[in-house]
Amino acid sequence: MSTDALRKPRTSYGAAIPDQCEVLVIGGGPAGSSVAALLAKRGVDVVLLEKARHPRPQVGESLIPHVWKYADQTGASPLIEKEGFLAKAGGIAVWNGKIHRIVFSEFGFTRPALHVERDIFDELLLNHAESVGARVFQQVTVREANLGLDSPQVHYVDRRGDDAYEGQLNCRFVVDASGPSAVLAGQFKSRRLVDSRMRFLSLWGYFKNSRFVGADGRGHPAADINKVRPVTFVTSFADGWIWHIVLRKLTSVGLVINTETARAMDKAGREQFFLDTLRRAPYLDRLLDKAEYMEGSFCERPDYSYYSTKLCGENFYCIGDAASFVDPIYSHGVLNAFYNASMTALAVCESLKDPARRARHAQLCENRLRQFYGFSRSLALGEFGGDGVDAELVRHFMRQVPPVELELMLAASSISDRSENFHQLVREAGLGLHPARAGAHLMEELVL
């Protein structure tokens, strides 16, 4: 394609992308859609550029009850309720042969956790952001952002029509919610992989007619999904752990393994390793015994445990997976996106009102984002201090978390062998909580 074609003005396909706005959001996943909705509801002129066309495939189907307070903030809760995603009662994990059960209602949560089809969930959030005033453009890829100007300039390629069009937009703030693409971290060269012992990749696919685990600790046929409330089922194996998340029509099943385990495998070899591991895994073999593997559904996300050393500045913010990502064992990915969006929307609004203090607002926001990342990291990986984590920030964050939410996380951490450092942080924060009181019940058996 010629350079002239790339630069041909867009006149014949869709609404024209404006030349300027107050806030430009890169990416239309949960982080980008949520920050756009929060800003638009407060009267901020927001443009969101998303490289894909929704609905698009995405993994991360398990949501914990914490997400409702953030969905309430954006106004998306009624839409989520209307969609009728599967409500889940809690989680059951088999870790190193021990069976643990967590029931969310025991912690006082009155609104359910959910199993969601992420393509539908993410499109719902993106459409909501547009409905409250954000100007949303899909199939538009951001190439770079020139942040050295008083008015940041964002360069993009619009691929909505038959020809691509290269354009630019000026704004006051750029919010990078581009997921693992991490546009700004790539520019800054600020992305860091965590210690190799803690680096993981995920392999996953989808099955029809899988049995599922109910809150009663029993296996149930797929046909009973509207009769028995399910749980997220997790089990460890020699090289990592496995998730089993039943949805309305399919079941998401995935492996999380250290990158070294799969380094020498090509994609076909990884898919075979994935299927062979599921067949050998205790309990999973029974759940999937009569299930049909969806050929062509195999996906992978390599080497995803990373963080950025540069998150916020006077005219930019990096949020969600564009800022960091850790092992997804406790379903913190979407929660991280919502939390980051909430903190960033507040910082941007305050900076728009008082530009002279925008560096201060950015620093406060970065501290908050690092607190949550460190909290998730210590929870999921069982290590803290250095390598992108400030233990004191984590302890300070713990003191601010509502006790019911922290108790649930403490209970969840008790199911794996990664929990001691997290428990130590809780003790050092002086919170007086103890895993024995936090509701992670041992079970004698599962009847599948």
One DSSP character per residue, 273-295 reads: HHHHHHHHSTTHHHHTTT-EE-T
Same domain, 45 and 130: yes
Among 254, 279, 301, the domain-final residue is: 301
Residue 3 has pLDDT above 80, yes or no: no
Q: Provide the pairing of β-strand 90-95 with 231-237.
A: parallel
Q: Three-state SS across 188-236?
A: HCCEEECCHHHCEEEEEEEEECCCEEECCCEEECHHHCCCCCEEEEEEE
H helices present in 84-211, as ranges = 118-131, 183-188
Q: For 387-405, how does the pLDDT look when each residue is reduced to its tens digit (9 = 90+)?
A: 667 888 888 888 888 888 8
Identify which has the larger pLDDT, 325 or 211: 211
Question: What's the rounded mean pLDDT across residues 430-446?
Answer: 68
Q: For 297-335, how does the pLDDT look when each residue is reduced to its tens digit (9 = 90+)?
A: 999 987 667 889 999 999 999 999 999 987 777 788 899
Burial of 417 (0-12, 13-18, 19+ CB in 10 A): exposed
CA distances from 251 to 99, 208, 230, 426 (A): 21, 6, 12, 35
Domain that holds residue 287: 200-301
Share of the chain above pLDDT 90, in %: 65
Same domain, 187 and 312: yes
Same domain, 294 and 244: yes
- The CATH number of the domain holding residue 256 is 3.30.9.100
DSSP character for 106? G
Mean pLDDT value across the chain: 89
Q: Provide the pairing of β-strand 240-246 with 219-220.
A: unpaired
Same domain, 318 and 404: no
Task: Decide if 247 is inside a domain.
Answer: yes
Written as one letter, the residue type at 24 is L
pTM above 0.75, yes or no: yes
Residue 417 has pLDDT above 60, yes or no: yes
Task: Decide if 346 is inside a domain.
Answer: yes
What backbone torsions phi and psi does residue 153 show, to the nearest 5 degrees? -120, 125
Identify which has the larger pLDDT, 224 or 148: 224
Among 268, 283, 301, the domain-final residue is: 301
Q: Provide the pairing of β-strand 292-293 with 200-208.
A: antiparallel
Same domain, 283 and 395: no
Residue 8's pLDDT band, with cuts at 50, 70 and 90, is: very low
* In the block, residue with structure tokens 């443009």: 47
Distance CA 112, CA 116 (A): 12
Residue 351 has pLDDT above 70, yes or no: yes
Question: What's the rounded mean pLDDT across residues 125-140?
Answer: 98
Residue 2 has pLDDT above 50, yes or no: no
Number of separate domains in the chain: 3
Query: For residue 106, which of 434, 331, 427, 407 has the smallest C-alpha distance?
Result: 407
Residue 10 has pLDDT above 50, yes or no: no
* In the block, residue with structure tokens 């394609």: 1
What backbone torsions phi and psi does residue 12 show, to the nearest 5 degrees? -120, 0
Same domain, 141 and 234: no
Same domain, 47 and 150: yes
Residue 106 has pLDDT above 90, yes or no: no
CA distances from 61 to 118, 207, 415 (A): 6, 14, 20
Same domain, 405 and 262: no
Task: Decide if 425 is inside a domain.
Answer: yes
Task: Decide if 445 is inside a domain.
Answer: no
Could you tell me the two tokens for 203? 């392999």
Same domain, 256 and 136: no
Give ∠ CA 107-110-113 in degrees, rounded to 5. 85
What pLDDT score was predicted for residue 202? 92
